[in-house]
Amino acid sequence: MTSASPTTDGQVAGPVQWRDRKRYAWLLGAVIPAVPFLAWGLVTWTGLDAFWFFGPVFVFVLIPLVDLVVGRDPDNPPDEVLEALEEDRYYRWVTYAFIPVQYLCLFWTAWMISRPHLDVADRVGLAVNAGIVAGIAINTAHELGHKRESHERWFARICLAQTFYGHFFIEHNRGHHVRVATPEDPASSRLGENVWEFLPRTVVGSLRSAWALERRRLTRKGGNHLTLRNDVVNAWAMSVVLWGGLLAVFGLGLLPYLVLQALVGIWLLESVNYLEHYGMRRQRLESGRYERVDPSHSWNSNNIGTNVLLYHLQRHSDHHANPTRRYQTLRDFPESPVLPTGYAGMIVLTWVPAVWRAVMDPKVVAHFDGDVSRANLHPRRAQRYLSRHSAGTTRPAAA
Amino acid sequence: MARFACPSCGYVYDEDRGDPREGWPAGTPFSEVDPDWPCPDCGVREQQDFEPA
Ligand SMILES: [Zn+2]
C-alpha cells in the first residue's frame, strides 16, 4: 500500500511503502467454517470415524502448532497507511463472506445429523464441529458488532443467532468495554478464578447486564422495554426463528445436537474472554471513577496462526483503546502484557486449572510488581493470594 | 446549539439532533445527559469526558 501524508508543518512526507502480508491470509477466516466439511471428507477418504472430531483437533492442536512453529507476527501497519487500510473495503467483505459459509455448515450439519445411518458418536462429532464454527462465528460477530454501520451490526446478530447469543454484542460493547478489568465486569476473569468457575459467572452476568442495558435505554426513551425494538429481544427472536425452522425441517431429534453445538460455541468464546483480562484490574481514582483503560489491562498475543483465525483479536490492547477500529488496522503494542502463546493454545491450558495457575499466576504477580492487592482477586481465594505474596510487597522504605 | 465529541473515537453528540436511539431526544442539552452515559460507538469514554466540538 502506498500513501503520502502531510506532516504537521505542512510538508508532505515521502510515500510510505507498506504491504499487508496477511491480505490474502485473511480469506482463511472465511474458510474456517468449512472445517466440518473437511472432517466429512477425511472420514470418507480414510474410513476412520475418528475424523468426525476433526474440528477440535484443528483449533486445539493444529492452530497452536502453527503458532509454536511459525511464531510471531511482525507486521504492524504504520500510522501513514491506517486510514487507507481502514477504508479498504476488501477487508470487510472478507468478514461478510464468513456468514454464508457458517450457515451452509449449520444447515448441512443439521441434515447430516437427521440422516439415519450415523451413530450417536458421529452425530456428536458433527455437532461439536458445528459448535467450533459457532464459537468462531461469535468472534466474527464481535468484529462486526463494533462497527458504526448498522448493516454490520445486523450481520453480527445473524452470526450470533446460531448460539442464541445475540445479547452478546450489546453487553460486550456497552458493558464489557466500559467496565473491563474491574470486579464489576462479568466478562473479566479474576486472579485465582478457574475457567470452570468463570463460565457460569460470565454467562449469567452477561445476560443480566445485556438485559439491564437495554431496559435502561428503552426506559429513558419512555416506553415499555418488552418490545422488538429491544435489541436483546430482536436478536433472540432471530434464534427462535432459526432453531424453530431447523427443528420443523429436520425433526425434534435435532434439538439435543443444536443445544450441544450452542454450548460448545459459547464455551469457546467465553474461554477466550477468560484469558483476555485474567487478573487485570484498573485502579480506582480519588474521584471514585476507574482509571482509563490502557494497554496494561489486556493480555495480548501476536502469534500468526491465531491472529488469522481470530481477526487480530489477540491485539487486544489496541482493540480496547480503539474498539471501532477494524481488524486489519489493529497493532501490537510492545508495552502490553503478553501471553506465552496464542489464544488457541492458551485455551488448552485453561482445561487444567493447576496448569493454568502455574503458567499465569507468576505472570500476573510480576505484572503488579509482586503486589497482588492491585490485581482483580477472586474473592474466595483472595486471602490465600494476599498472604502467600505478602513477602513480595514488603520492600525497603524509599529513601 | 453545541456539539460535543468523544475524545476516543470521534462520535459527536449534537444537541440539535440529540441521540433518540439512546434516549436523548432532539434538543436535549448535553448537560442533561447522564454523566455516566458511555459513548454509544466505542464505550471507552463517558459523557463527562466529552469535549466541545
Ligand atoms: Zn467513542
Predicted confidence at residue A391, as pLDDT, reads: 57
The verdict on residue A398 lying in a domain is no
Residue type, A394: T
Q: How confident is the model at residue A17 (pLDDT cuts 50, 70, 90)?
A: confident
Calculate how close chain A gets to B47, using CA atoms only, in Å: 12
User: Mean of the pLDDT values across residues A262-290?
Assistant: 96
Tell me the average pLDDT of chain A.
Answer: 92
The verdict on residue A396 lying in a domain is no
Where residue A13 falls (left for φ over 0; alpha for ψ -120 to 50; beta otherwise) is: beta
Interface of chain B against chain A, CB under 8 Å?
8-9, 20-24, 38, 40-46
Predicted confidence at residue A2, as pLDDT, reads: 42
Tell me the CA–centroid distance for residue A294 and ligand 1, in Å: 15
Alpha carbons within 13 A on the beta-carbon side of A243: 23
Q: How confident is the model at residue A366 (pLDDT cuts 50, 70, 90)?
A: very high
Calculate how close chain B gets to A136, using CA atoms only, in Å: 22
**Closest by Cβ to B41, choosing from A148, A178, A218:** A148
A6-12: long-range contacts at Cβ-Cβ below 8 A with a sequence spacing of 24 or more?
A: none
DSSP H helical ranges for A115-221: 120-145, 150-161, 168-170, 177-179, 195-220
- A322 touching B (Cβ < 8 Å): yes
A338 in helix, strand or coil?
strand
User: Mean of the pLDDT values across residues A250-266?
Assistant: 98
Determine what percent of chain A is predicted with pLDDT higher than 70: 94
User: Mean of the pLDDT values across residues B21-30?
Assistant: 96
DSSP H helical ranges for A47-119: 54-57, 63-70, 82-87, 89-114
- Residue A399 pLDDT more than 50? no
User: Mean of the pLDDT values across residues A44-51?
Assistant: 95
The verdict on residue A255 lying in a domain is yes
- Residue A345 pLDDT more than 60? yes
Full residue range of the structural domain in which residue A285 is found: 5-390
**Of the listed ranges A1-10, A271-280, A285-294, A333-342, the one predicted with least confidence:** A1-10
Calculate how close chain A gets to B14, using CA atoms only, in Å: 17
Please choose, from the candidates A398, A108, A116, the residue with its C-alpha nearest in 3D space to the C-alpha of residue A261. Answer: A108
- Rg of chain A over Cα atoms, rounded to whole angstroms, equals 22
The verdict on residue A399 lying in a domain is no
Query: What's phi and psi for B15, nearest 5 deg?
Result: -60, -35
Query: What's phi and psi for A320, nearest 5 deg?
Result: -75, -25
Q: How confident is the model at residue A39 (pLDDT cuts 50, 70, 90)?
A: very high
ipTM at complex level: 0.94
Q: How confident is the model at residue A146 (pLDDT cuts 50, 70, 90)?
A: very high
Q: How confident is the model at residue A7 (pLDDT cuts 50, 70, 90)?
A: very low
- Residue B1 pLDDT more than 90? no
Q: How confident is the model at residue A15 (pLDDT cuts 50, 70, 90)?
A: low
The verdict on residue A360 lying in a domain is yes
> How far is the C-alpha of A254 from the C-alpha of A98, rounded, in Å?
24
The verdict on residue A88 lying in a domain is yes
Minimal-distance CA residue of chain B relative to A289? B36
Tell me the CA–centroid distance for residue B47 and ligand 1, in Å: 10
**A219 interaction partners in chain B (CB closer than 8 Å):** 23
> How far is the C-alpha of A332 from the C-alpha of A142, rounded, in Å?
19
Give me the residues paired with residue A135 across strands.
Answer: none
Calculate how close chain B gets to A230, using CA atoms only, in Å: 11
Would you say A181 and A295 are in contact if contact means Cβ atoms under 8 Å apart?
no
Report how far apart, in Å, the C-alpha atoms of A253 and of each of A114, A256, B30 are. Answer: 8, 7, 55
Tell me the CA–centroid distance for residue A295 and ligand 1, in Å: 17
- Our count of domains for chain A comes to 1
The three cell numbers of residue A100 are 454464508
Predicted confidence at residue A71, as pLDDT, reads: 87
Predicted confidence at residue A145, as pLDDT, reads: 96
Please choose, from the candidates A335, A364, A377, the residue with its C-alpha nearest in 3D space to the C-alpha of residue A182. Answer: A377
Q: How confident is the model at residue A117 (pLDDT cuts 50, 70, 90)?
A: confident
**Closest by Cβ to A324, choosing from B20, B42, B45:** B42
The verdict on residue A183 lying in a domain is yes
Predicted confidence at residue A155, as pLDDT, reads: 97
Would you say A159 and A141 are in contact if contact means Cβ atoms under 8 Å apart?
yes
Predicted confidence at residue A9, as pLDDT, reads: 42
Predicted confidence at residue A349, as pLDDT, reads: 98
The verdict on residue A176 lying in a domain is yes
**pTM summary value:** 0.92
Predicted confidence at residue A394, as pLDDT, reads: 46
Exposure string (b/e) for B23-51, b if CB count within 10 Å is 16 or more? Answer: bbeeebebeebeeebbbbbbbbbbbebbe
Would you say A188 and A194 are in contact if contact means Cβ atoms under 8 Å apart?
no
Among A67-71, A183-187, A387-391, which range has the highest average pLDDT?
A183-187
Q: What is the pLDDT of residues A298-335, one digit of tens each?
A: 999 999 999 999 999 999 999 999 999 999 999 999 88
User: Mean of the pLDDT values across residues A246-260?
Assistant: 98
- A178 touching B (Cβ < 8 Å): yes
Q: Please state the separation of Cα A93 from the chain's center in Å.
A: 20
Residues whose Cβ atom is located within 5 A of ion ligand 1:
B 6, 8-9, 11, 39, 41-42
> How far is the C-alpha of A309 from the C-alpha of A32, rounded, in Å?
8
- A177 touching B (Cβ < 8 Å): yes
